[in-house]
Chain A
Amino acid sequence: MEAIRNGFMAVVLAITTTMTVGSGSARAESLGWPEKEELTFGFIKLTDMAPIAIAYEKGYFEDEGLYVTIEAQANWKVLLDGVIDGRLDGAHMLAGQPLAATIGFGTEAHIITPFSMDLNGNGITVSNAVWDAMKPHVPKRADGKPEHPISAAALKPVVEQYRAEGKPFNMGMVFPVSTHNYELRYWLAAGGIHPGYYAPHKGDISGQLQAEALLSVTPPPQMPATLEAGTIYGYCVGEPWNQQAVFKGIGVPVITDYEIWKNNPEKVFGITAEFAEKYPNTTLRLTRALIRAAMWLDENDNANRPEAVQILSQSQYVGADAEVIANSMTGTFEYEKGDRREVPDFNVFFRYFATYPYYSDAVWYLTQMRRWGQIDEDRPDSWYREVAEKVYRPDLYAAAAKSLVDEGLADAADFPEFGTEDGYREPQSEFIDGVTYDGTQPNAYIDSFPIGLKTGDRL
């Protein structure tokens, strides 16, 4: 108790000092004053909201003349509606949310993102009973511990057994257009389990057509409780809710998204297109603050992570126990109780150009929406490119990053070469099923999966 309190006071002190020191403002004129100074940002209690908390606690928002209130939201739907109706000025969003909103799957609104928040950071957890059943099918290493990554092929016999007994195999994910939904589907499909299709043109948005595993929505913080209650047998969620299951002894994380797709893009910071147009200086400045926060989080080989953990464990942010958050934030991940492994890149906030909003990341999410039927008919490759360009705004990011470099607050080497960058990553092949992804060829990519809708398919 005393230790926690002292730690808390130390954090407070450290923050106050950095804030008073770092309030130079000579740069203000060149950037233009913010048009809107009082902002409210929403977030969901997940460790990947860290850039927002850090930008606040380290005074980066205030350095930009922005007075930001940070509010936890009950679920992703409430958060998105908040941004659309203006109750929130911006929010920590699932990468699929701005895309889906812009193309009109779900609530339609033009949302853009000038800043990608992180890479990786999710995991898939199954209940203890399911783990016991799938364990015999998992290959072992010499030391007797399971060989990673664990394929969903080990889960397939368990799902079949449940189905044979007439029990639906329910799993939780956090939102229909969430990274978690696509990652869980990717993993299941790669192991031969059909996660089901959406058919919005027929009014079916349950995503369970032809499904062997039935996926449904549960808000992240409620995942462990829902698993414990037996409503679902497994889930895919961000941290700390996988590690929470280990601590509570109610489930076993079987795989992280890092192993499903190495360095996959995760959350983004979403604002409305209208906001960016109406308040260009504010948009630029908030992007600058977020970039600085991301830099701080990854600085000196994650040296600041323990402090970040203390901040995130405060009740107004993530609020889980510091040791639970620390488990993943400091580069380790605990699978089965006691099976703690190094995953240094489990949470990446800045390195590998993590915060740059690549068009190819947007296109990947769109291909998955098509694969599972959320986009119900074929679209030409050019359409994918257009949507990505409408939603992802590397131009805003570049302007913010350049101004930071000019002021000596950032190093140009930490950013992509803005002059030549076209926004498409080189083809990536580090997926669990070995399929190569090339963002410039979305339709060819969609056709390369054994499970999933292909060109010409319509339910």
Chain B
Amino acid sequence: MFERKPKTFIYFIILLGAFLLIFVRNSFITSLKFKITGSASLPIRIVSFPFKEMKKILFYHRTYDEYIRLKRDNNELRSRMVGFDELLRENTRLEKLFNFKRQSIYSSVASNVIGRDPSNWNATLIVDKGSEDGIEIGMPVMSAVGIVGKIAEVSAAGAKVVLISDPSFSVTALARRSREVGLVSGTLQGMCRMKYLSAQADIKVGDEIITSKLSSTFPEGLLIGEVISVYSAKDNPSASFIVKPTVSLSQIEEVLIIQKK
């Protein structure tokens, strides 16, 4: 292979071309990617369907436990909702009285998950709403229980969501209890890591982590997850915390894409 032959030169050109392709930015490539993912997603979903149904049957006891927990949480939330309508009316009345303007108003678009990246290095979902539905790059994506990620690529009829467990994702966050601020980013383990905190930061296992108002992408106060472990080396001035996402990212089937107005 290393003798001087025209073929070796051609192989080198192919390798060089593949390397230079990494630096090309073109809308044609984005549309080509979505055409391929759109074509491949349907057979993947068809083949996955019987296996997923089998998994649901085999692990029915987990579904039942989850149902009992959700029913209990629902009853608790209903009891808290009593009186909220009145509070909302009073809030609106006071806003008008003091001429207080809301900084932003959010609407959302519901979208179905039609595929996911099978790579070990990425945590990405493909959803069935695109620029035709008003979706733009950078829009936050949520589920009913917490944040899922943000829009990374958009085509006319679809979009890709980079999940909070992807190493390239990051969001400014704070601990709900102690209000310590840090940066949450994804890891290859499917979890998140909260970093840039001092070793003396008042964060314990079990603390809830929410989005901070310092984040330009996400509205404040959205639930990210719960701290499950602390990493703090001796003589190290900083600590990092492993956060388990609230949303079950491997099982998510529907998402809400938040549109800022």
Say whether A and B bind each other: no
* Chain B residues at the A interface, C-beta cutoff of 8 Å: none
* Chain A residues at the B interface, C-beta cutoff of 8 Å: none
